[in-house]
Amino acid sequence: MEIRTLGVADLSACSDLAESRSWPREPPKWRLLHEVGTVFGVDAPDGSGLAACSVLVPFGSVASISMVLVAGRYERRGLGRAITSHAVSAAGDRVVWLHASSMGRPLYESMGFVVDGGCQGHAGSFSDDGGVGACPGALSDVLPLDRAAHGVDRRGLLERLGTPFVVDGGFAFGTDIGHVTVIGPVVAETEEQAKAVIRGVARSVSGAVRVDPDFRFPALTAWVRERGLVAGALAPRLVLGGRALPGDPAMRFAPFTRAIG
Topology of the domain covering 121-231+245-254: Aminopeptidase (3.40.630)
Residue 78 above 90 pLDDT? Answer: yes
Q: What is the mean pLDDT of residues 89-98?
A: 98
Question: Tell me, what's the pLDDT at 110?
Answer: 98
Alpha helices, DSSP H only, in the chain?
11-20, 27-36, 79-91, 105-110, 139-150, 155-158, 191-204, 218-226
CB 97 within 8 A of CB 247: no
Give me the percent of the chain exceeding a pLDDT of 90. Answer: 97
The domain covering 3-93 belongs, at the CATH homologous superfamily level, to Gcn5-related N-acetyltransferase (GNAT) (3.40.630.30)
Residue 1 above 90 pLDDT? Answer: no
The number of CA neighbours under 13 Å toward the Cβ of 229 is 30
Which part of the chain has CATH 3.40.630.30? 3-93
Q: Read off the pLDDT of residues 203-252 as tens digits, 9 standing for 90 and up.
A: 999 999 999 999 999 999 999 999 999 999 999 999 999 999 999 999 99
**Statement: the pTM of the whole predicted model exceeds 0.85:** yes
Question: Tell me, what's the pLDDT at 261?
Answer: 86
Question: Tell me, what's the pLDDT at 225?
Answer: 98
What are the beta bridge partners of residue 186?
Answer: 254
Residue 188 above 90 pLDDT? Answer: yes
Kindly list the strands in the beta sheet with 186-188, ordered across the sheet, starting from the edge strand earlier in the chain.
135-136, 165-167, 170-172, 186-188, 252-254
Which part of the chain has CATH 3.40.630.90? 121-231+245-254
* Rounded Cα gap, residues 244 and 239, in angstroms: 8
Instruction: Indicate the pLDDT class of residue 92, thresholds 50, 70 and 90.
Output: very high
Q: What is the mean pLDDT of residues 105-127?
A: 97
Question: Tell me, what's the pLDDT at 226?
Answer: 98
Residue 178 above 90 pLDDT? Answer: no
Q: What is the mean pLDDT of residues 85-97?
A: 98
